[in-house]
Structure 1
């Protein structure tokens, strides 16, 4: 019964996110907004309910099955992908490089941000 309660709660958050996006015309997917809402709720509560923990663990254990529709879609549209392989490859390469550069820059900034207070605390202790 806990699994059913957890799945219901996850789907309710997804539904609320979808409704919110459609009502407000937000440019993000509804399930993403629902996931953010769930995350904020869990942060406020400080713990994960057992039902959500059980449902999410069960879903994650079968995560590989969620890639089957994507693989079927690739095979169904293989001709189109073969015709447009150059722009697809460029988009994948550029997005990967941009993501890696952005991640490195963010890591450098946050590392400086967090090590600066530690250095200041070390000087104050002396």
Structure 2
């Protein structure tokens, strides 16, 4: 029963994201709105981490399975994509490296800032 309640909370915020997407006409996916709303609720302690911890851990564990339909979709669209394959690969590799570098720098900054606060 605990897991159903946790999934219900996550689905509620997903629904709120869909509502935001309906009313806010920006090119932002509804899931992002839902994640931001859930983050705000967690930061303001409207929702405690323990209320969604196990269900969110489960969703993270099965995340690789969620990419299978997208991968199959890419395979089905190969006829269209083969003409732009090289530019897509280059952009994907470059953006991946940039995201990894920025993430590493931000993580280092946060760790150093936390160490300074503790001393």
Q: TM-score, normalised by structure 2?
A: 0.74
Cα RMSD for the two superposed structures: 2.9
Deviations 1:60-101 (A, max 9, x none): 222221111122112211222222212212322342354356
CA apart distance, 1:4 = 1.1
By relative contact order (CA 8 Å, sep 6+), the higher-ranking structure is: 1
In structure 2, how many angstroms separate the alpha carbons of the residues matched to 1:7 and 1:95? 32
Distance 1:4 1:100, change over 3 A: closer
In structure 2, how many angstroms separate the alpha carbons of the residues matched to 1:11 and 1:85? 36
Indicate the structure (1 or 2) with the bigger Cα radius of gyration: 1
Distance 1:63 1:102, change over 3 A: closer
Alignment gaps of 5+ in structure 1: none
Which runs of structure 2 are paired with 1:81-96 in the superposition (5 Å)?
81-96=81-96
Residue matched to 1:79: 79
Count the aligned residue pairs: 115
Residue matched to 1:32: 32
